[in-house]
Chains A and B, each alone.
Chain A
């Protein structure tokens, strides 16, 4: 702003000087309000609605804001489109600092207002943009429609049009009435208006009751009418293609090679009510649509993965996913494989005992289990194993790039463990 900040102080005492200041304000605000250049920034869903609003149907150009700038140095408006995470927050602050003044911030969507759907039990999300930046306009919605964004833009326009180069915080300046008095007066008027409104509403309610004595609030939208629906059974599993192994065959072949194999959650000795083996029953019901999980010893894990990859009857060439589950005394590593050519799936479940030797106070911050990495067999496992390492604290031996993937490298703890705590986590009210 520079010299213009001193203009009111010099010009206002001069007779007629106030009009000059007002005129300058008017012209400057008019120019600013009608060409707000937003920054191209978006993290999630709201960014798509922001894009929609700049496209043909909604056409943000009608409001003079179609010039989306990829560089913060050319932008006036920071539309915070999408969730702000703790990891992203410093980048956002840096972007805002790089923007030249006067700059404005529009927080779009529920996430930037309060954290939105990510308030409870969350360790990663900043609960509201106001915690990191001064926000001018909030636009609610999840995500807000383009029309809502335009309403936000117009609100911001109004705000800019009422800006002044006078310092609004100096008391009693430029008018003679103090700011305190003006505030008191406004509060008084507001209370009077509220009182009038309440009276009018009460009157209207009584009038409505007198006119419709039998009225009961029974609003029922047509789509919400209670209908009765039939019970539908599950469809039969698809016929296996040629060359596809059934789950029973898969299990038997692996069991032959690795005697420690068993089906997860099934006791091999258990019987069903009519005397059949529960194991055989389960295997007969399973298909490649809903495969069983084959529990293996850790020491067999690498060999078994190699076996199913190279055996011509299996040909498991495709890694779907590697993930884990945390139980109080052990982890279970789940490796999901499939054969693109033959169509069957093999799910391995590797129980990993938690390391007992780690002292109690260090358990939450240290790796508690070790398992061989399968990155040599499946390069796709690289990122998946990093994710398991990041979220559960399971060590993979033989992984050549084991770093945290989603969280900062100095993040303390492993979030997907059941006993994970974070100072900023709020528990979901029941």
Chain B
């Protein structure tokens, strides 16, 4: 069946094709999700197929829309920090940082040096944990379920560290304006050291395991290409943007915390295909380890770990903070009026634009390639829907 009028198509679909052309005779629609292991959560994709080829794809959001922004209006500022945990739960600790940085602008307070190191170290640990989940899911989505076991193995070590410091494995709720909830225990630095030593040797295994694997290369090189222009136009960020050859990292371009004092590279790739996105993330794990090693060297043993405690109440105004999470640019926009509740809090999640660009990337591919592309975009759906 073919369509020559946009009104005949289901909502969202736009391509109108020639009725008389023979090539388009096999059109049908496939529904993927909201319960599907490869959509990484409750996302529904309506796919228009021509035989085995994807003609067009329309993502349907909102299956995990929880009204966080509405709730934020009746919460105190502190009560909103746990909400940010539940957005991108793979690196909850980084989301905490994003929210807290915006609050600090509104409260006009700074952070002592030790607290900055704690923040950076935990953020980088979170980034490694998130990229390990990506590693597992990428392998798993390609059919190699063993990768999931590998990725989650080292991730548990990160979670041990996070649990010891914050008291929680996943939803950390740790940072506060002016520092953090607690000081880190004495065992923190030795544990991170041990983790890095372990990770160094395992990373070699990982790369041997997937990067050079013939099946992985065949299924990801040249698949799901996102050009540099498209990546910028669709507002992609993080590893997805960098894999398309755009040298942009908030840690480098607008350094927050103490990232300006640390040496690290921004891994880049230029083809913008699935293999490049995979490689950029693997290189980022190495860079995070480099940052962690520098932090261990410079970590101040003495000194205050937070600034003077103040009631969390923002001066009236509008504050915006942005950080680089494992997925990309995470912006927090706070509108503060007089009173101890925010007038409005808005989150700019990195995964949302990535799904917006998905249609552009998968046209002309097959459904099995769509699964690969979805895995390398590494979206977290609750962060999109909020």
Q: Which residues in A have some Cβ–Cβ distance to B below 8 Å?
A: 39-45, 47-49, 51-52, 55-57, 70, 82-83, 85, 87-88, 91, 95, 117-118, 120-125, 142-143, 145, 223, 227-235, 238, 264-265, 288-291, 293, 317-321, 323, 325-326, 334, 336, 340, 343, 347, 378-380, 382-384, 391, 400-401, 403-408, 415-416, 418, 420, 427-428
> Quick check: B307 and A416 within 8 Å, CB to CB?
no
How long is the Cα–Cα vector from A428 to B74 in the complex, in angstroms?
7
B190 in the interface (beta carbon within 8 A): no
Q: Answer whether A85 and B64 are a contact pair too, CB < 8 Å, given A117-B82, A234-B110, A401-B12.
A: yes
Q: Answer whether A340 and B64 are a contact pair too, CB < 8 Å, given A43-B42, A91-B34, A121-B71.
A: no
Q: Answer whether A44 and B62 are a contact pair too, CB < 8 Å, given A231-B307, A264-B318, A321-B333.
A: no
How long is the Cα–Cα vector from A401 to B35 in the complex, in angstroms?
25
CB nearest neighbor in B for A404: B62
> Quick check: B66 and A125 within 8 Å, CB to CB?
yes
B78 in the interface (beta carbon within 8 A): no
- In the complex, identify which listed stretch (B253-261, B268-276, B294-302, B366-374) lies at the interface while the others stay far away: B253-261
> Quick check: A234 and B109 within 8 Å, CB to CB?
yes
CB distance from A121 to the nearest CB of B (A): 5
How long is the Cα–Cα vector from A404 to B309 in the complex, in angstroms?
43
Task: Give every chain B residue within 8 A of A45 (Cβ-Cβ).
Answer: 85-86, 89, 170-171, 382
Interface centre among B148, B308, B322, B385 (most CB of A within 10 A): B385
B217 in the interface (beta carbon within 8 A): no
> Quick check: A232 and B152 within 8 Å, CB to CB?
no
How long is the Cα–Cα vector from A288 to B156 in the complex, in angstroms?
38
Task: Give every chain B residue within 8 A of A334 (Cβ-Cβ).
Answer: 333
How long is the Cα–Cα vector from A326 to B111 in the complex, in angstroms?
33
Chain B 318-362, CB within 8 Å of chain A: the 1/0 string? 111010000001010101000000011010100011011000000
> Quick check: A343 and B156 within 8 Å, CB to CB?
no
> Can you show 6 pairs from A to B with CB atoms below 8 A apart?
A55-B153, A118-B66, A124-B66, A320-B235, A407-B65, A415-B70
CB nearest neighbor in B for A235: B110
- Tell me the total A-B contact number using a CB cutoff of 8 A: 225
> Quick check: B171 and A142 within 8 Å, CB to CB?
yes
How long is the Cα–Cα vector from A238 to B255 in the complex, in angstroms?
8
> Quick check: A336 and B331 within 8 Å, CB to CB?
yes
CB distance from A241 to the nearest CB of B (A): 8
How long is the Cα–Cα vector from A51 to B246 in the complex, in angstroms?
33
How long is the Cα–Cα vector from A230 to B352 in the complex, in angstroms?
40
Chain B 132-169, CB within 8 Å of chain A: the 1/0 string? 01000000000000001100110110010000000001
How long is the Cα–Cα vector from A357 to B27 in the complex, in angstroms?
46
Contacts A117-B83, A234-B104, A320-B348 aside, 7 further interface pairs with beta carbons under 8 A come to A52-B152, A229-B307, A229-B309, A231-B307, A232-B109, A235-B110, A404-B62
> Quick check: B306 and A229 within 8 Å, CB to CB?
yes
B207 in the interface (beta carbon within 8 A): no
How long is the Cα–Cα vector from A424 to B352 in the complex, in angstroms?
28
Interface centre among A42, A44, A142 (most CB of B within 10 A): A44
> Quick check: A323 and B346 within 8 Å, CB to CB?
yes
Q: Answer whether A95 and B35 are a contact pair too, CB < 8 Å, given A117-B82, A343-B254, A347-B320.
A: yes
Task: Give every chain A residue within 8 A of B329 (Cβ-Cβ).
Answer: 320
B232 in the interface (beta carbon within 8 A): yes
Contact of B108 among A95, A234, A293 (CB under 8 A): A234
B195 in the interface (beta carbon within 8 A): no
How long is the Cα–Cα vector from A347 to B319 in the complex, in angstroms?
11
Chain B 77-108, CB within 8 Å of chain A: the 1/0 string? 00000110110011000000000000011001
Task: Give every chain A residue within 8 A of B381 (Cβ-Cβ).
Answer: 43-44
Contact of A401 among B14, B248, B253, B309 (CB under 8 A): B14
Q: Answer whether A121 and B74 are a contact pair too, CB < 8 Å, given A88-B63, A232-B307, A380-B353.
A: yes
B265 in the interface (beta carbon within 8 A): no
How long is the Cα–Cα vector from A42 to B33 in the complex, in angstroms?
11
CB nearest neighbor in A for B68: A118
CB nearest neighbor in A for B385: A406
Interface members, chain B 207-257 (any A CB < 8 Å): 232-235, 246, 248, 253-256
Contact of A48 among B63, B67, B90 (CB under 8 A): B90
Task: Give every chain A residue within 8 A of B85 (Cβ-Cβ).
Answer: 45
B17 in the interface (beta carbon within 8 A): no
Task: Give every chain B residue within 8 A of A379 (Cβ-Cβ).
Answer: 233-234, 356
B26 in the interface (beta carbon within 8 A): no
> Quick check: A83 and B235 within 8 Å, CB to CB?
no
> Quick check: A265 and B183 within 8 Å, CB to CB?
no
CB distance from A19 to the nearest CB of B (A): 43
> Quick check: B64 and A83 within 8 Å, CB to CB?
yes
B51 in the interface (beta carbon within 8 A): no
B290 in the interface (beta carbon within 8 A): no
B267 in the interface (beta carbon within 8 A): no
Task: Give every chain A residue within 8 A of B62 (Cβ-Cβ).
Answer: 85, 87, 404-408
CB distance from A29 to the nearest CB of B (A): 29
How long is the Cα–Cα vector from A321 to B349 in the complex, in angstroms?
9
